[in-house]
Homo-oligomer: A and B are copies of this chain.
Amino acid sequence: MGSERVGDEGAFISAVYGGNLTGYTVPMALTDAQLAEIDAARAETRPTLRATVPALEEILHVPLPVLDHGFVRVIDYMGDDAAVVQAARVSYGRGTRKVSEDRGLINYLMRHRHTTPFEMCEIKFHVKLPVFVARQWIRHRTANVNEYSARYSVLDREFYIPAPEHLAAQSAVNRQGRGAVLAGEEAAHVLALLRDDATRSYDHYLEMLNETESGERRDPTRDGLARELARMNLTVNVYTQWYWKTDLHNLLHFLSLRADPHAQYEIRVYADAMAEALRRWVPMVHEAFLDYRMGAAMLSAKMLAVVRRMLAGETVGQAESGLGAREWRELMAVLDRA
């Protein structure tokens, strides 16, 4: 990918790839064929009568790097902020003549969970991600997926090894959380185990397939184990890739769960990259999403009763609150009184 193309893609790509696009150092996940495909896809525009979003077109097809070998790239989209408004207005019909402007309507829809207008926009991503992240991700069922098939093809030698600052110990208080970062010899030992086991498993995978790294047959006298069997020797940090397409409503749902601090770090970084695409694509929806979803909190009937008593001047402790210890802590955290 020549530096000639940098200018076309604008400041964003420089920011992502450090201005040094030749060689495209970051996403080593991309093959030359894929880079050429991206180049071709971005080489010329075509005219359309559909809604377009220039800020998203700027990064269309361009991989946003995630983790050590992964990426997210938007490869297609349908609709924009206005398409949400338009769909809401077909529902409200004549009645909306007086409804105030678009931003207010989008905020209203988000606040009152009128979700169907958000389903009118669609986005398609190409994602490279470790198998154990894919296993969490796929639980979101309202999406369309085409994944690289290891029954059919041979996987690349790429597996996720955490950066030292993400090598966290098990949390002592949260069974699905992380504690302090490991350090020193312990960290080095863990990294060595991860790297050695993944490497050895991959070496043996190729050996069982009777294939060389470049896809040649090693021993011409035999066939090698079936791909669909050999793959079972790979560790779940091996990278896979897929096309993943969803509507805006379901994307917001995905992000609200996966861009959340309770999500595992390794999927959260994917959600973060997708949130950047969201911001470019539908800025009004993005803003409403931050206010009414990501930054919002659901207060139960009992929690609301506590807040009302507090606002009435009463001093309420957990004992008088009717809340369990855990719920009380959650409420105090929401109210910044932790």
Spell out A's residues near B (CB within 8 Å): 41-42, 45-52, 57, 60-61, 76-79, 83, 86-88, 90-96, 104, 107-108, 111, 116-117, 119-120, 122, 124, 126, 130-132, 134-135, 138-139, 141-142, 144-149, 151-154, 160, 162, 167-172, 175-180, 182, 186, 190, 193-194, 197-198, 200-201, 204, 207-209, 215, 222-229, 231-237, 241-243, 245, 247, 264, 290-292, 294-304, 307-308, 310-311, 324, 326-327, 330, 334-337
Contacts and interface: CB of A to CB of B under 8 A. Distances in A.
A175 B144 contact: no
A232 B222 contact: no
Nearest to A44: B49
- Mostly, the A contact residues are mixed
Contacts of A198: 233
A42 B49 contact: yes
A132 B135 CA distance: 10
Query: Which 8 A-B pairs give the minimum distances between C-beta atoms?
Result: A295-B301, A93-B153, A45-B47, A119-B144, A169-B223, A95-B153, A232-B237, A141-B141
Contacts of A126: 90
A208 B225 contact: no
A73 B126 CA distance: 30
